[in-house]
Amino acid sequence: MTDTATTTPDRTDARTAPAAADPADVLVRVRDLTVTYRRDDAVDTALDGVGFDVRRGKVTAVIGESGSGKSTLAHAVVRLLPGNGAIAAGAIELDDEDLLARTDREFRPLRGRHIGFVPQDPVSSLNPTKTIGAQVREAFSLAGSALTAEQVEERILGDLRDIGFAAPETLLARYPHELSGGMRQRILVAIAFSQRPRLVIADEPTSALDVLVGQEVLRSLHDVRTKHGTTVVLITHDLALASRNADDVLVLEAGRLVEAGPVAEVFAAPRHPYTRALLASSARLREGRVLSIAEAYERRGPDVRRAGSPSAEAPAVVTLDGVSKSFGGGKSHVRAVDGISLAVAPGSTFALVGESGSGKTTTSRLVLGLESADAGSVHVLGEDLGTLDRKGLRALRRRVQVVYQSPFESLNPRLDLRSIIAEPLDSFRVGSRAERRARVAELLDRVRLPASYATRRPQELSGGQRQRVAIARALAIRPELLVLDEPVSALDATIQAQVLDLLQEIQQELGLTYFLVTHDLAVVADVATQVAVMRRGRLVESGPTADVVLRPQDDYTRALLAV
């Protein structure tokens, strides 16, 4: 595995267009880079003989799914690999200087001054005990900046204005927790650019943020980059983002560079099967260009998958009538859900869309009976949750099941899949032991997992497989309503499509009603029959998917659709 020589021929078919560029235009040159991680006696090869050029003044996107090694690549360049990671072979050059020849000590001055880094998570990347001003100034003192204190201050204020803060003076005295995630991430961008580095590496800079906020951050990143002519390496799993923001793209698959070239060319005519598969998984990338959500929706036309039309005459499965829910008292009082009403027709997929903090998750918890409403009424499958006692609620749980966002957290790591899937059956004492076993086998088959998996534990499975297990568990007692809480947002794009397809198939087969909670309108357009858009606890718009996606009435919906 670690023998790079044998793997080299595989890469000859990879496109190396940027490499063909004028050598003077190349800022970063990486050759045959192999990075390994030690674990349990074995050595994992995270990057296997990767070679590429980063063009000066351009944005190079590194795309790939989780585990493809794209973050490892970023960390190898700035030499911030974790303790058990090591560069086993290869060369990294910055402006023709061999970076690997530097000792760790000699490397340190490069960080910040010549190579800036924008981390993924703005929440944990700023020190909560120091003011913003102190942390931005620290970037100057750490880099040994020759500027005087006044010049530094002037520069900071100018930078912050460039990045979109109208009144940076007041900002400097504030602490990170007083700022939103988007503001924090923009501060981190400002810090990364503060020393005017030659190269800035941004590792998934927006994936911890809401879509609209993430867009703003990217816009500011683009502005400062253009202003200073900085070269940027953008690590992302989001193809649409890469397509819009990058000049060149590197496609990584399981530690190998499978394709590289100008983004427009690669996306328009992918050569490697993996790139093709990756592009195909994104319904919004066609012929190398990003479709709007509405375009993508229209292209699919009257979708056969949404043909399982709901019977509008039948009584609604879920009815919310003027429901409100608040948390906390006094100063920390939050109205999570503020007087919303909605109805979900049987056999339909109702999608509740909103960003974080919109109250969509609280609404789903109200439907599940995990929270009780302060005002208004919640009816689920004809039962009034407000008047239901514990016994009634338990009886209702036989008919309503849930699939959680993260299959990494929703499955007990100590149990095998059989016990996990049989949990509802065991809880309600459905059938004999043998019947439960048979049902588990049937369910595994239904979600297309081999029967032999029954004795495995969740840790042995991939994210997509785990989510299938969660779906199998939810189906075990044949519920009528399934609450899907961001069912695919923790999964890779190619896996997302598979899981969504599976959910659709199951719905058609079993006539289930789905209550889908998501932040991603693209997912909604794929599967929902009805859409409600939620913002700050209120419904801003709702209606059939076609109406909402193609003819949005509300500005906020329009903004979400424009992403």
Partner 1 sequence: MTDTLIGAPPAPPSGKPTPTPGKPAPRARRRRFRELHVHLLLLAALVVAALLPELVTRHDPFELDGLPFVPPNGEFWFGTDEIGRDLYSRVMHGLQISFFSAALAVLVGVVLGSVVGVLSGLRPGGVLDRVLGILTEAVMAVPAVLLALAAITAYGRGAYIAAIAIGIGEATGFARLVRGLVIQSQTLVFVEAARTCGAGPLRVLVRHVVPSVYHPVLSYTAMQFGLAMLAIGSLSYLGFGEAPPSPEWGVLIAGGQKYLVHAWWVAIIPGLALTAVVVLLNRIAFLMQENRR
Cβ burial of 493 (10 Å; 0-12, 13-18, 19+) is: buried
For Cα atoms 87, 89, 95, give the angle at the middle one, nearest 5 degrees.
85
Q: Does 504 bind partner 1 (CB under 8 A)?
A: no
The least distance separating partner 1 from the CB of residue 421, rounded to whole angstroms, comes to 10
The correct pick among 9, 22, 39, 287 for binding partner 1 (CB under 8 A) is 39
- The answer to whether 2 contacts partner 1 (rule: CB under 8 A) is no
What tokens were used for 377?
A: 């009424």
The residues near 260 (Cβ < 8 Å, ≥ 6 apart) are 14, 15, 16, 17, 18, 19, 52, 248, 249, 250, 251, 266
Residue 424 contacts partner 1 per CB under 8 A: yes
CB of 473 to partner 1, least distance (A): 7
- Pick the closer one to partner 1 by CB: 77 or 560: 77
> 43: part of which helix (H) or strand (E)?
strand 42-55
Answer yes or no whether residue 402 interacts with partner 1 by CB under 8 A. Answer: yes
Residues 76 and 14: beta-carbon distance below 8 Å: no
Shortest distance, position 31 Cβ to partner 1, whole Å: 21
The helix or strand, by DSSP H or E, that contains position 235, with its residue range, turns out to be strand 231-236
CB of 414 to partner 1, least distance (A): 5
Among 19, 21, 37, 100, binds partner 1 (CB under 8 A): 37
Structure tokens at 533: 């858009």
Please answer whether residues 248 and 257 qualify as being in contact, where contact means their C-beta atoms are separated by less than 8 angstroms: no
Can residue 60 be called a binding residue for partner 1 (CB under 8 A)?
no
Report the nearest approach of partner 1 to the CB of residue 402 (Å): 5
In the bound complex, what is the minimum distance in angstroms from residue 411's beta carbon to partner 1? 6
Buried b (16+ CB within 10 A) or exposed e, 159-172: bbebbbbeebeebb
> Minimum CB separation from partner 1 for residue 496, in Å?
15
Find the binder of partner 1 among 15, 29, 58, 70 (CB under 8 A): 70
CA distances from 69 to 37, 50, 58, 443, 545 (A): 11, 10, 22, 34, 37
CA atoms within 13 A on the CB side of 74: 25
At closest approach, how far in Å is the CB of 514 from partner 1?
Answer: 15
Question: Binding of partner 1 at residue 478 (CB under 8 A)?
Answer: no
Q: Which stretch binds partner 1 (CB under 8 A): 14-22, 34-42, 135-143, 306-314?
A: 34-42
Residue closer to partner 1 (CB basis): 26 or 252? 252
Are the C-beta atoms of 318 and 379 separated by less than 8 Å? yes
Contact 538, 357 (CB under 8 A): no
Q: Can residue 41 be called a binding residue for partner 1 (CB under 8 A)?
A: yes
- 408 contacts partner 1 (rule: CB under 8 A): yes
Angle between helix axes 463-475 and 433-446 (nearest 10 degrees) is 130
Q: Contact region for partner 1 (CB under 8 A) — 62-70, 169-177, 336-344, 510-518?
A: 62-70
Could you tell me whether strands 248-253 and 256-262 are parallel, antiparallel, or unpaired per DSSP bridges? antiparallel
Shortest distance, position 406 Cβ to partner 1, whole Å: 7
**Closest CB to partner 1 among 57 and 67?**
67
Report the interface residues with partner 1, using CB under 8 A: 37-41, 44, 46, 66-72, 74, 81-85, 120, 203-204, 235, 255, 368, 370, 394, 397-398, 400-402, 404, 406, 408-415, 423-424, 426-428, 459, 470, 473, 477
